[in-house]
Amino acid sequence: MKKAFLASMLAATCVSASFAVAQTPVTTNNGAAAAGPQLSQDEYTAYNAVISATDPAAKATAAEAFLTKYPASTVKTTVLEQLLAGYSGSNNGPKALDAADRLLAVDPNNIRALAIKTALLKAQGDAATDVAAKTAAYDKAADAASRGLKVTKPASVADADWATIQKSVTPYFYQAIGMDALTKKDSAGAISAFTSELKAVDVAQTAQPGPFLQDTYFLGQAYYAATPPDYLNCTYFATRTAALAPDQFKASFQPLATYCYKKYHGGEDGYDAVKTAATANLFPPDGFAATVKPAPTPADQATTVFNGDKADDPTFAKVALADREFVMTYGTQEQADAEFAPIKDKEVKVSGKVVSIADTVLTLAVSDDAKQASPLVADFSITLKAAPKTAPVVGADVDVVATFASYTQKPTMITMTGGEIQEKAAAKAPVKRAAPARKK
């Protein structure tokens, strides 16, 4: 249970309850005519014991006693609000959740009850270790939060007071919705909710250790988990969190910031400028995106490699196989054809990892990307002259001499024929030399 979170909910509840009490005068039947409900002397005394109690636990006890004795009282809603305040103030989570449900049963749009319910259910989700339990708690918290965001101002509450209540609870409603969406891998929903949450609080609050700084990081995670990933926004919000977090927590937030920056930019150069902007601004300032140059795309890199190959060797006859395959994979059709033409019908030795072998058809992972993939990805298909007596196992490193025949670009598959697997040379045993004779 996060005390700061519940304290904010409690503050909203207590303030709201005082508004209800102040704006709904209550008198005894012996009093002068009043706009509010009139109670018997005994009921009024019990009621007064509830609203005047300063100790939260005592307030809850007095409220329970009142509701037991006067279950149909005209001030039942107000007493239930006081009951909720009492259990919340004494950190009795289960009783506070029950009180919130009891209050919502008679007043479905009670924003105080919805705020407390949201807080308690989210705390349950935070604490749960079982995935199903965590998801269920977050779902219920998000449902209560969504209801809370739809509540309109009661006629009995002044505009200024309603604005105060909304300012207190709105960020936490969005927080619960954001966590529910993030847990369900609903990146768009999480981004929307966490953004709305941060916009609903004073910027100074987001720069201090606490839930809003934590949720800034969650916003960065949501951008990272988007399809496709938004690496620039991930960089920004994760960087802001790492920059403003206490020193002992920076190491927890920085890796995501660094990873997303390198994925977007291609290197770590220029990162200090991002850190400066993110530290000073909650959201990316105007023109921020233009200050961070994206990394070249594979197509851009292929063009660079192709132009370099052409400058060094206009016939493309001596290009390294790795560069040749990179252009054939990511370049234009014309670039790929230009790289393949000089090697067609040429016999060469290629080295790779076995992906599969069936009779005389051997597939290999030859490029670094193909070999690093899990599972291995075949980018060469070689027809052997004869099936090997002992087939190499999947993942084994082999050398094959074969002739280039054709290729397809998407997905990349280079086809060779007339292949022969080269036997690995046996390691030579070390030469044993006689020990030199000792001089006598």
Superfamily of domain 346-423 in CATH is Nucleic acid-binding proteins (2.40.50.140)
The C-alpha R_g of the chain, in whole angstroms, comes to 35
Query: How much is the pLDDT for 195?
Result: 98
Write down the domain spans for the chain: 3-184, 346-423
The CATH fold of domain 3-184? 1.25.40
Q: What is the mean pLDDT of the chain?
A: 90
Asked if residue 32 has pLDDT above 60, the reply is no
Burial class of 222 by CB neighbour count within 10 A (0 to 12, 13 to 18, 19+): buried
pLDDT tens, residue by residue, 117-145: 999 999 999 999 999 999 999 999 999 99
Burial 78-117 (b: 16+ CB within 10 A, else e): bbbbbbbbbbbbbebbebbbebbebbbeebeebbbbbbbb
Query: How much is the pLDDT for 15?
Result: 37
**pLDDT grade, residue 372 (50/70/90)?**
confident
Handedness of CA 255, 223, 219, 275 (dihedral sign): positive
**pLDDT grade, residue 226 (50/70/90)?**
very high
Asked if 3-184 and 346-423 have one fold, the answer is no
Percent of the chain past pLDDT 90, that is, above it, reads 84
26: tokens are 């209550």
This prediction has a pTM of: 0.71
**pLDDT grade, residue 424 (50/70/90)?**
confident
Whole-angstrom distance between the N-terminal and C-terminal Cα of the chain? 85
Angle at Cα 255 formed by Cα 253 and Cα 258, nearest 5°?
Answer: 115
Which of 24-33, 278-287, 394-403 shows the lowest mean pLDDT across its residues? 24-33
Query: How much is the pLDDT for 410?
Result: 87
Query: How much is the pLDDT for 9?
Result: 44
Tell the residue number behind the tokens 């252009």, with chain if given: 327
**pLDDT grade, residue 31 (50/70/90)?**
low
CA distance 125 to 120: 9
**pLDDT grade, residue 439 (50/70/90)?**
very low
How many beta carbons lie within 10 A of that of residue 410, not counting itself? 9
Which of 36-40, 60-64, 155-159 shows the lowest mean pLDDT across its residues? 36-40
**pLDDT grade, residue 1 (50/70/90)?**
very low
Asked if residue 18 has pLDDT above 90, the reply is no
Asked if residue 431 has pLDDT above 70, the reply is no
CA distance 129 to 338: 57
Phi-psi region of 395 (alpha: psi -120 to 50; beta: other; left: phi over 0): left
Which amino acid, one-letter code, is at 313? D
pLDDT tens, residue by residue, 67-122: 999 999 999 999 999 999 999 999 999 999 999 999 999 999 999 999 999 999 99
